[in-house]
Structure 1
Amino acid sequence: MNAQTKNELAALHAADEENANTSGNPSLLDVLEQRLSRRNMLRVGVGSAGAAVFGSLAACGGGGGGAAAAPAPAPATSGPTPLKLSFAPVAKNKDDRVTVPAGYTASVLYALGDPLTSATPAYANDGSDTGFGDRAGDHHDGLEWFGLDAAGTARLATGSERGILGINHEATTDQFLHVAGVTANPRPPAEADKEMEVHGLTFVEVRKAPGYAYQKDSAYNRRVTPLTPMELTGPVRGHALLKTKHSIAGTQTRGTINNCGASFTPWGTYFSGEENWVNYFFRSATDDTARGGAAAKGVVSLRRYGKNQGAASRHGWETAGADDRFVRWNISQTGASADGTDDYRNEMNTYGYMIEVDPYDKVQAIRKRTALGRFAHEMGVFGLQVAGKPLAVYMGDDSRGEYVYKFVSTAAWNAADANPANRITTGDKYLDAGKLYVAKFNADGSGSWIELNIANPAIAGYATYAFADQADVLVNARIAADAVGATKMDRPEWSAVHPVTGELYVTLTNNSNRKVEPTGSQHGVDAVNPRSYTDAPTAPATPGNINGHILRVRETGDESAATTFTWDIYLFGAEAGMDQTKINLSALTADNDFSSPDGIRFSQKTGVVMVETDDGAYTDVTNCMLLIGLPGRLGDGAVQAINYTKLDGSTLTVQTRVGARPTLDTLRRFLVGPIDCEITGITETPDGRALFVNIQHPGETISKANIGNPAMYLSHWPGNAGYGAGGATARPRSATIVVTRDDGGLIGVDGTAVLNNF
């Protein structure tokens, strides 16, 4: 990798390494005095799948052995048999393909540029393509399945053979999108327009006949882009902080961007998070002065969200011309108005929310739900629904040192709302009024949810920022969380709730800023973020939480509105050979070790947990991956001490709570992706027999100088697997794949005790 390419890649990932939290919130260095009570784990048997893995898209031998027979279905019994993992673990590899276990097939379903209408030309994949309003966007990320009845005329929640996939398009690998790579600023309007259009969302119909395929010309097909009109709803609607030249009333905005994780609402709509949107905007080098100086509230807010004056934008769209669609990305205060209605100084305040879309109904306006706060929403996931009780939505803020949040609805859940006449207005009922909380984790395994409310003296009297009202608290949720002393976390990413226990799992991807002896804005080790060590080949002398971990939380009394909880660490990512007293605390082996957990989901059919990785620390050994496991329960492990030697020779002891160590019976590697990709976005059909996974940005590491030389591409997937134009020298493309079991069985498991894991 040449220096230019390294610099370009570093700039591309700057958003993921944001460290805007310079608050003085405490670390957790208290010594624990009690050990967790141990609980019995699910007893499972060893699976019967063959030992070999194969390149599924090519259906040939590979991965270190010959092809094995498909796993036999579980034998018929007189009663239910326990679920057990039933596939051979996939070996780590750096192959430019998708590798799944023997007995499974992975097929490309929907890739960058694929046409949504018959009138749209096939994707040439040479940078000349246009019309992305009718094509698949780039960087496929979170996705969800929405079932249809056999006729395709109505929602059927249990529908598995016909449905709509909602797909996030997080970002773009610009160089591959243009014939000769990216033109430097000022950006040509045609390039900027294309880059904008590949962001956003897709809704595309998929049918099984006999294999799964997407349907051109379906009435459900549509793209949502950064120019799609959207309503701002909830407590912040119409507030002064949302007023722009586009919407002087502060009630509307255009589009969504940098959408990461996705989930579904209990009433059947798509729920998508706006993540690292801050880097799409530009501020002039004199904007602090224009806004009233460094102490002005607007400047304090912008800096806390990582947007200092003079900060360049990720794509330079604001340089593409005087048209409003380009000017809006310049958030400098250029107008003379007192309220911002003559420029776009407040435009960034209209981003950073959870958005809700009805995939079945194009007429209903898309909502940005401001009651859930503004930050780098990785995603939002609902807790279990209990009639007569409020709903909980759990959310992570994906930046180093940021927080875990919870929203609790004012409205109590009515089971009739699971299939309402109007889905989007049902969202109005549950998501536009409620309480927003932030998490504080204690060293003894307890924790508390602190409400972010203007009535809290810590918020009302916060010296750093003078909150005007509750809407101000929601727009500046990060600052409010600073004020109440929330716990800084190691990049909270996806969240998932177990469909039986209701326990919350949060992936904490990594944090290069986690130190044993922090200085400045660095973060100290603590009980819930306990590791700092060297490992990554790209930074062998720089310690941090290199491989990440997965947090587990249980609400007190299993109540969604509880204000206290308990926690432990379900899994610690690590290389199998690392020290089990300091790094590989979960004792991972070669068949289940991983780094940088990102996507996470529980099967709603079987209750297995699926973990995806977005890794740069272990990629000298393996491409990113997906693992499948049988989860335990909070408290099934023990307390473990980690001893660090400080610079002065003294010992710092941090005690953490480690979940039961997995075995091959409870955690295995299921899939490895192609070179230079992220494995992200995961959903399934309701019958648990088809798994949809997104392969994001394979071979993204490319400089403009090498765009014309396919020999320099790191990946050629999926063209090298026979999908689309280009063949063995194709430009790589993000894509959605579908994985099925050759015998038609459940994904990953045998047994009949469905959702009966505990």
Structure 2
Amino acid sequence: MTTTTDAFAYDDGDIDTNRSHGRHLNDLVAERYSRRQTLMGGISAMAAAAFGSAMLTGCDDDGDRNDAITVSAGSAVATAAGKTVTLVGTVTGSGGRSSGWQQTSGPTVALTDAGDGKATFVAPGVATATTLGFRFAGTSSGGTTSTADTTVTVAPASLDFTAVPKSLADVVAVPAGYSVTVLYRLGDPISGSVAAYANDGSDTNFAGRAGDHHDGMSYFGLAASGTSADTSNSSRGLLVMNHENITQSYLHPNGPTSTNGVRPTAEVIKEIEAHGVSVVEITRASTGAWSYVAGSSLNRRVTPFTPTSFSGPVAGNALLFTAYSPTGVAGRGTINNCANGTMPWGTYLTCEENWAGYYRREAGDNARRAAALGAKSVVAFTRYGLSTGSGDTLRVGNYGWATAAAGDSRIAKFNATVDATKPANGTGDFRNEPNQYGWVVEIDPYDPSSTPRKRTALGRMNHEGCWPGRTVAGVKPAFYMGDDAQNEYIYKFVSNTAWSAADATPSSRLAIGDKYLDSGTLYVARFNADGSGQWLPLVFGQGPLTATGYATYAFADQADVLTHARLAGDALGATKMDRPEWTAVNPVTGEMYCTLTNNSSRTVANTDAANPRAYTDPKTTGGQTNGNANGHIVRLRETGDTTEATSFTWDIYAFGSGADLNAQNINLSSLDATNDFSSPDGLWFARSSNVSGQGTPLLWIETDDGAYTDVTNCMLLAAIPGTVGDGGTRTITNTLGSTSGTQATRVGKTSGASLKRFLVGPKECEITGIDTTPDGRSLFVNVQHPGENGGPSNITSTWPQSQATGTGTGRPRSATIVITKNDGGIVGI
């Protein structure tokens, strides 16, 4: 501290004997500006550096009043990524005032002035402990500034909630400190002209209502004007979701009906329209409450009747010829849409999964098909689950739709039987209609007048999802997909076009989809026992993908290879996986994760390193499940960390299991009561637009389970995973019945601190579909088919009515919920 004083009267020894012309002290005091610059710029800066605060005493303009201030920036702080930090600066002394905070070092954060010397910021995502520096400035009444410094040390994000216990209750349970709101339910009207949902089976017009079985889902930010995209808007947006299937019994007053095996047309139309996709506008009020906008002009349903178009190598090929589309470039609708994908240019991908089950084939159709189209057509139909009954007998098809209104082509398309009186190329009937399904479909959520496009370059299968890898300027992007059936494959499509950052904000979103999704190479994965792997190209003319190279099927051209990607994968020797479902890509590392839900056909003899378990899982209610009953999650890292790679390394991130099962051979991830799970299905990494998707990104895992539902309803878990290879190798002993054998595998590192149960759903549901707002403060989750085992006379769940009190009387409804943190923070961390 420096102090100045006025001159005073004579005292002992205070005699002026200096008669020179040197300047007097009072003259120096008068030069306030120069003096204060020295005092404050030098002494206070040194004090701030040493002590985190600075103190100054000086004079007013006339040199006769104390002008001292003390500035403090507070003590150093330790926090974790995602937490809100409040910096508190103080200025004490006559006339002192604060002039604000600034950051001096570390990853840049957005400081918000909270007034009264305070500023707040959200601690950034970091991979290791990182120190940030900040400086607080104070100003004296004389206009001189003094500063003080402090630091904030940020640790990587952690799962900052208490794990939710397992539950069989009929509610959605979330951690303490969180709230659940039901947002968008089966039957909710999306047009002002559609009546409210009665939920008694009498409702119609599902083309104007929310469909059933809410599934994969994405949030798209909407500008305040409501007319264009704003990817950063976390208060207004479009929620786009799949409606995979139906719980048929609840859609009608007393369940479905038929007369002499013929379904009523009105019932069938209702059931068909309840499938497909919803696009619905949602908003968050100033109170924080979310709601959907029932009358928005952007609201839309895409059903199995909505016109679509084909693009890519199969468009216009004879394999797509039908009575509706004799040129093979148009189609009608999309069905059994399960998982999804959000494209870097702002479109939504919906993926057709169990489409094959809806088709009817009449007795003798194998013989007719072979005569008209060749024996390979029967091989292809059988490989895709479209076989007729035993002995070439009748195949009815899901829900018996094709029995209704034979003259209505919308319904007739679900009968794939060959009509021998029609042209052999299929332009007079619907023999090729199944080839129009099993694709990835791109939708522009912002343009309700646009036609969805089926992207044939990405192959035809039981598509579960399609997720993009990291986009890097000048590098060809990749898109990862699973084929959800037992012993099917994992695929990757690599575009022919290198990524351009300008395409993230295009004027025509579907045109950019044409650019990246219509030409490229489709690959299928082979996993080797040593932890390496290869991407095998599905390219006609290479290896066995020729007319004579594969004994089981003669490929004609690239369109044939893509339409029958499963057969191409067989020919190339891809690794048969335990039901590959959702894919997700770590936005920081680029590693791809894929859920392998379960596989009841996995035996001890056919285990391999990537699918290493075959065992018995007993139920507490009696009985058991066999094979890989609880599933696992595999992950891979591309060689060179580039999406263009044709090789990779892999391990298994987590094995599903009850905590009580054998730790040496079954519960390989050492799960406990806070995180044991079964049948992983949905999978999603947090958005990189907020802290939960940065540094060490948050991974969300959803379950669709039958093996563990005697103990708990399906669930959502949060994880902060490591990286490929962070665990080690294990050799396990599989025992199934009287058969035993050993299998080596690669097990990733998991722990209770990095994997916790975040949510448990209501009775008989699947937890699926997930996204957040760009700021990570609102989490959207879908609850599919609660009470699916019941019916009008045996209601087994009353959710979401039961959410408020735990009980209710109405029929259950699939619905979207919003989960928020009561303190307004980022969900999960």
TM-score after normalising by structure 1: 0.86
Aligned to 1:406: 492
- Per-residue CA distance 1:55-102 (angstroms, 9 max, x = gap): xxxxxxxxxxxxxxxxxx989962434211111100000000000001
Aligned to 1:616: 706
User: What's the % identity of the aligned pairs?
Assistant: 54
Which amino acid in structure 1 is aligned with residue 558 of structure 2? Q
Aligned to 1:136: 210
Q: CA deviation at 1:733?
A: 0.3
Distance 1:648 1:614 in 2: 29
Distance 1:722 1:125 in 2: 18
Distance 1:370 1:646, change over 3 A: closer
Distance 1:555 1:74, change over 3 A: closer
CA contact (8 A) 1:646 1:652 kept: no
Question: In structure 1, the residue corresponding to 2:561 is in which secondary structure?
Answer: helix
Distance 1:149 1:241 in 2: 42
* Equivalent residue runs for 1:160-179 within 5 Å: 160-179=234-253
Distance 1:281 1:44 in 2: 57
The one of 210, 215, 221 aligned to 2:299: 221
CA contact (8 A) 2:79 2:153 kept: no
Aligned to 2:741: 652
- Per-residue CA distance 1:176-202 (angstroms, 9 max, x = gap): 000010113311000000001100000
Tell whether 2:815 aligns with 1:735.
yes
* Equivalent residue runs for 1:674-693 within 5 Å: 674-693=762-781
Which amino acid in structure 2 is aligned with residue 630 of structure 1? I
Aligned to 1:202: 278
Distance 1:511 1:564 in 2: 26
Aligned to 1:315: 399
Distance 2:210 2:738 in 1: 56
Distance 1:230 1:635, change over 3 A: same
Q: CA deviation at 1:373?
A: 0.2
CA contact (8 A) 1:275 1:352 kept: yes
Distance 1:647 1:226 in 2: 44
Tell whether 2:201 aligns with 1:114.
no
- Per-residue CA distance 1:122-180 (angstroms, 9 max, x = gap): 11000001111111000000000000122222101111100000010000001000001
The one of 192, 201, 204 aligned to 2:268: 192
* Equivalent residue runs for 1:430-441 within 5 Å: 430-441=516-527
The one of 325, 348, 353 aligned to 2:410: 325
- Per-residue CA distance 1:509-564 (angstroms, 9 max, x = gap): 000000013xxxxxx11100000111153884552000000001000001111110
Aligned to 1:66: none
Tell whether 2:469 aligns with 1:383.
yes
Distance 1:88 1:669 in 2: 9
CA contact (8 A) 1:279 1:313 kept: yes
CA contact (8 A) 1:44 1:82 kept: no
Which amino acid in structure 2 is aligned with residue 376 of structure 1? N
- Per-residue CA distance 1:423-475 (angstroms, 9 max, x = gap): 01100000000000000000000000000111123121111111110100000
Q: CA deviation at 1:216?
A: 1.2
Tell whether 2:820 aligns with 1:747.
no
Aligned to 1:26: none
Which amino acid in structure 2 is aligned with residue 659 of structure 1? G
* Equivalent residue runs for 1:144-293 within 5 Å: 144-184=218-258, 185-209=261-285, 210=287, 211-292=289-370
Which amino acid in structure 2 is aligned with residue 720 of structure 1? S
- Structure with the greater relative contact order (CA < 8 A, sep ≥ 6): 1 or 2? 1
CA contact (8 A) 1:47 1:86 kept: no
Distance 1:106 1:392, change over 3 A: same
The one of 658, 664, 672 aligned to 2:760: 672
Distance 1:539 1:608 in 2: 37
Tell whether 2:668 aligns with 1:592.
no
Q: CA deviation at 1:262?
A: 1.3
Distance 2:507 2:218 in 1: 21
CA contact (8 A) 1:229 1:253 kept: yes
Decide which structure has the larger Cα Rg and report it: 2
Which amino acid in structure 2 is aligned with residue 314 of structure 1? N
Aligned to 1:424: 510
Q: CA deviation at 1:47?
A: 12
Aligned to 1:488: 576
Q: CA deviation at 1:118?
A: 2.2
CA contact (8 A) 1:576 1:589 kept: yes
Distance 2:247 2:600 in 1: 24
- Per-residue CA distance 1:481-501 (angstroms, 9 max, x = gap): 000000000000000000000
Equivalent residues, number: 667
- Per-residue CA distance 1:39-64 (angstroms, 9 max, x = gap): xxxx998999xxxxxxxxxxxxxxxx
Gaps of 5+ in 1: 1-42, 49-72, 518-523, 750-758
The one of 707, 720, 743 aligned to 1:630: 720
CA contact (8 A) 2:614 2:734 kept: no
Distance 1:542 1:266 in 2: 41
Distance 1:731 1:410 in 2: 49
Distance 2:480 2:243 in 1: 22
Which amino acid in structure 2 is aligned with residue 438 of structure 1? V
Aligned to 1:340: 426
Distance 1:648 1:676, change over 3 A: closer
Higher alpha-carbon deviation: 688-697 or 454-463? 454-463
Distance 1:355 1:251 in 2: 14
Distance 1:208 1:579, change over 3 A: same
Which amino acid in structure 1 is aligned with residue 577 of structure 2? M
Distance 1:543 1:320 in 2: 39
Distance 2:374 2:709 in 1: 43
Distance 2:329 2:682 in 1: 32
Tell whether 2:747 aligns with 1:662.
no
Aligned to 1:298: 377
CA contact (8 A) 1:44 1:666 kept: no
* Equivalent residue runs for 1:420-569 within 5 Å: 420-460=506-546, 461-517=549-605, 524-537=606-619, 540=623, 543-569=626-652
Question: In structure 2, the residue corresponding to 1:620 is in which secondary structure?
Answer: coil
Distance 1:74 1:412, change over 3 A: closer
Distance 1:529 1:45, change over 3 A: farther
Aligned to 1:3: none
Question: In structure 2, the residue corresponding to 1:729 is in which secondary structure?
Answer: coil
CA contact (8 A) 1:47 1:87 kept: no
Question: In structure 2, the residue corresponding to 1:127 is in which secondary structure?
Answer: coil
Distance 2:466 2:444 in 1: 16
Distance 1:429 1:626 in 2: 36
